[in-house]
A and B are shown apart, each in its own frame.
Chain A
Amino acid sequence: MTNKYDVIVIGSGFGGSVSSYHLAKAGAKVLLLERGPWRDTEPVRAMGIKKRSHLPAGSHFYTHILNRFSAPWLPKSGVKVNTHGLFDIHYDRDMSVVCSSGVGGGSHVYSAMNIRPAVDAYWDNHVDGVSTDMMEPHYQWMIDKMGARPPALDDNIPNFTGKRYEDSPHFVADESVQQPAMSMDMSSNPENFSNNSFFGCVGWSKATLDKILLSPAINAGLEVKALQECLGIYRIDGPSATSYRLEVMDHQTKRHTYYQADRIILAAGTLNTQRLLFRSRDNGGLSGMPSLGCNFGGNGDFPAYWGVNEKGADFSIGTPSHGRFELRDYPSCPNFTEYGMSGIDDVPLVGNAVRNRLKRDLVLVGMGADRANGAFTWKNGRLRTRYIQHNNPIIGAIAKAFEEISRRSGKKVWFTNKRLLTVHPLGGARLASNQNDGVVNEQGEVYGNPGLFIADASALPAAPGSPPSMTIAAWACHVSQTLSNKI
């Protein structure tokens, strides 16, 4: 069989879109496979994409909210709820993981915070050939592409923490607290400030990867196939080259189909990249990878519900994240971001009492670099997360600070550290200088499997301690640019 494509990319989130963009722009023949659909948003309509699926809103909320749900008591690969659903939720004892599905990956559901790592010299001392200095231009390129900038007081953004805590005796969100750059249209059109967060954004206000990167890449020759879920990777060693056969479920025709290429970029997101690699190794498609699953972490994510119940407030409007804040005079304060229930107006609920209450409350997320010392395990086709909280002091520090927020505000912060949950899973196939310490080398190529690359969060060498999308994008820039020089 002759290979039609120079590279096949699996997954269209930050890792996959960035890789596809660079390779297509460099003239390579690239196929991008995405398990989810194109989303029915104005930018996607403007791209002329005919087959689009609803975001979960209105009468489509309950049908389109879930793609897959997996849990220890469910069948091993979980329950596929709806191929067109937005969220993929993996519930587990030590740590649960939430990620998304659809062309553009996490950019539809994310809070648009575009930040460099909180950890200094993040890329240094992991492998030769990758350093913080050399990655910096990739960060800048991506932040520029996304059009991101930090919100300012005179943007008059509803519920912005910089404004909300201006005179607060307890909390601080002034210039001493670095606000994240946001890839949002922050001009004063009210439409920019509603329905733009977890449940996706139909309008133009949030920068998503389909419009920012995939549209120009398609013009440069990229082929995107939506609703194509890769089920397995099979290595084929020929006399002159190694290539890979992909077993793919075409959710449109409900049939298995097969693709083959000499180079594969795996960017299905941490959870699904782990599933694919473990399953492919189980099926005999891939071999080696002794460190697969090691060094998983949740980037210190710790969400909580803050029952502020502020009279007259509507926290559901604003930017997807209202910004950062810290506890005043609280040494080594972890990093907190607050969120309103964006999109709640389009969630069908019985009566308005619950909705109105949800609008007056906030979601808090504490975050910080954990030690990424958990693991993914795979037994009889079932993926589990293992994560020992006590080995990650940041979790305890955030819990303590939540209690302090409760105390100072006089409003209960609800949280449980019995069940951790992350939206920033990373590691499991990390960058390291040899295959006993990690899965990929300095070019993102899997040790022992030439031509197979990993460009998503599972390859990150450590927790950045801040939202990781720009770090993933920078890594994918590095992997794809190095690869395009070889094609």
Chain B
Amino acid sequence: MTVVAQTLGSFNPNSLLKHSQKELDELFKTLPALTEGELEGVYRGRLFAIMGLGILPRFLRNLLYRLLQTFINPWKGKRFDGDNGANIWFSKRGTLPYGFYSINSQDSAVDGEPVTHLSYDVDKNLRILRPVRGETRKLSDGVYLARMNYQTRKKLVRVLYFTLDNIS
């Protein structure tokens, strides 16, 4: 697996809020993987393309996902510390971590291309969280596109997409 360093211009993540999961799958396929250790520190998260909400008109989805960027959403983003990380809640400083994962580079279970893989199969997590599988690629300098998949007994289900941008 070869992972290349790429620089991309700065990208406004909000331009993706109207995209459907299928559209984001296409975009995700074109994105380059991250270099080893590229994600380090605290990143602000923005959620969108949540499973089941694709039936809403684009403008409504856009509105809803913008609302989820305000104080009403306790999820603020993610923290990366070497091979491990956690979701951060209530404060962007990352002082309240929960939902832990281990980080490694591997080929995507969805499209076979290299990704940074986040596995929630960690003892500290509640059992219900353990089948969560995250995949991350680089969208532009300092902005990453990621998706959260859920491993059921039969298949991998795409739950949502989110972007991470560096705030530390």
Contact = CB atoms under 8 A, between A and B. Distances in A.
A482 interface: no
B6 A255 contact: no
Interface residues of A, number: 21
B30 interface: yes
B9 A285 contact: yes
Given A237-B6, A255-B20, A245 B30 contact: yes
Interface residues of B, number: 22
A1 interface: yes
Nearest to A3: B30
B7 to A, nearest CB: 5
B19 A256 contact: yes
A237 B9 CA distance: 9
A276 to B, nearest CB: 14
B12 to A, nearest CB: 6
Contact of B5 (A239, A245, A287): A239
A117 B7 CA distance: 42
Nearest to A240: B4
Nearest to B11: A284
A287 B7 CA distance: 12
A256 B10 contact: no
Given A232-B15, A234-B11, A258-B26, 10 more contacts: A236-B6, A237-B6, A237-B7, A238-B4, A238-B5, A247-B27, A256-B26, A257-B23, A283-B12, A284-B12
A260 B28 CA distance: 12
Interface string A203-241: 000000000000000000000000000001011111100
B8 A236 contact: yes
A239 B3 CA distance: 10
A260 B19 CA distance: 19
A286 interface: yes
B30 A258 contact: yes
Contacts of A285: 9, 11
Interface string A51-80: 000000000000000000000000000000
Interface of B: 4-12, 15, 19-20, 22-23, 26-27, 29-32, 113, 140
Contacts of B140: 234, 284
A283 B139 CA distance: 12
Interface string A165-177: 0000000000000
Contacts of A287: 9
Contact of A236 (B15, B22, B23, B32): B32
B161 to A, nearest CB: 13
Contacts of A1: 29-32, 113
A413 to B, nearest CB: 47
Nearest to A260: B30
A257 B26 contact: yes
Given A1-B113, A258-B30, A260-B30, A237 B23 contact: no
Contacts of B23: 255-257
Contacts of B5: 238-239
Contacts of B26: 255-258
Contacts of A239: 4-6
Contacts of A257: 23, 26
Contacts of B29: 1, 258
Contacts of A258: 26-27, 29-30
Contacts of B19: 256
A5 to B, nearest CB: 13
B22 A255 contact: yes
A381 B123 CA distance: 49
A12 B10 CA distance: 30
Contacts of B6: 236-239
B30 A284 contact: no
A235 B8 CA distance: 6
A283 B19 CA distance: 16
A1 B6 CA distance: 13
A235 B5 CA distance: 14
A452 to B, nearest CB: 13
A237 B138 CA distance: 12
Contacts of A245: 30
Closest 5 CB pairs of A and B: A284-B10, A284-B9, A256-B23, A237-B7, A258-B30
16 contacts: A1-B29, A1-B32, A232-B15, A235-B8, A236-B8, A236-B32, A237-B8, A238-B4, A255-B20, A255-B22, A255-B23, A283-B9, A283-B12, A284-B10, A285-B11, A287-B9
A258 B111 CA distance: 15
A432 B32 CA distance: 34
A84 B113 CA distance: 37
Contacts of A283: 9, 11-12, 15
Contacts of B12: 283-284
Contacts of A255: 20, 22-23, 26
